[in-house]
Structure 1
Amino acid sequence: MIRLRIKVTYCPRRALALSDTPHPDCPDCRGEGGIAHDYGDHTGEYAGTHWEPCPCWTQWAVTLLPLPRLSRWLRQRRRDADPWAPGGYSDEPPF
């Protein structure tokens, strides 16, 4: 059974994509979509993690809609600045 969701992808460009999700009640992966196996080098030290995908999930995505790039003005605009204050700062005392 396929459990679809819409997500935003960023590579190679921002887009809306339709993808499958792991089964939330899977006894093997517990809804994570895969099983992580830690491994070590010849001295026994941690060397990395190998991720084995679970069969309850297929890793595919279909691009639905490419999203437009934000203009430079919108990307550089400060989100916390007061747009009605002169120069972004207010000279009135807080109440």
Structure 2
Amino acid sequence: MIRLRIKVVCATRRSLALTDTPRPRCPDCQGEGGHHHDYGDHNGEYAGTEWLSCPCWDENRCVVLLPLPRRPRWLRRRRNHGRDPWATNGYSNEPPF
């Protein structure tokens, strides 16, 4: 049985998609969709963590419903790039007196 939800995905362009969710009462993952598995190198030292998906859901099942519109250029946030310290938020960190 598929348990669908709406999610914003960003593959090539932001869009709304229907995705599958993990089974909430799964005895293996308790609704999280998988487990983190720590592994070590040949000396037994920690080498990293990998995600093991639970078979109760398919994390790659995704159907794009509709692309979200892009903001017009004049509405996009302008980045400061360190030029003007007052342009970030309009406030100063200096004491008033």
Q: TM-score range by the shorter chain?
A: 0.7 to 0.9
The reply on whether 1:71 has 2:72 as its aligned counterpart is yes
**Corresponding residue for residue 56 of structure 1:** 56
Matches of 1:36 and 1:4, distance apart in 2: 24
Q: Once superposed, which parts of structure 1, at least 4 consecutive aligned residues long, lie more than 4 Å away?
A: none
Which shows bigger deviation, 24-33 or 43-52?
43-52
Count residues in correspondence. 80
Instruction: Compute the displacement of 1:56 (Å).
Output: 0.8
**Corresponding residue for residue 87 of structure 2:** none
**Corresponding residue for residue 6 of structure 1:** 6
Instruction: Compute the displacement of 1:33 (Å).
Output: 0.6
Amino-acid identity (%): 69
**Corresponding residue for residue 24 of structure 2:** 24
- Over aligned residue pairs, what C-alpha RMSD do you find? 2.1
Map Cα deviations across residues 14-51 of structure 1 (whole Å, 9 max, x no partner). 00000100011111011111122110112222211122
- Give ranges in structure 1 of 5+ residues lacking alignment: 78-88, 90-95
- Give ranges in structure 2 of 5+ residues lacking alignment: 79-89, 91-97
Matches of 1:72 and 1:44, distance apart in 2: 53
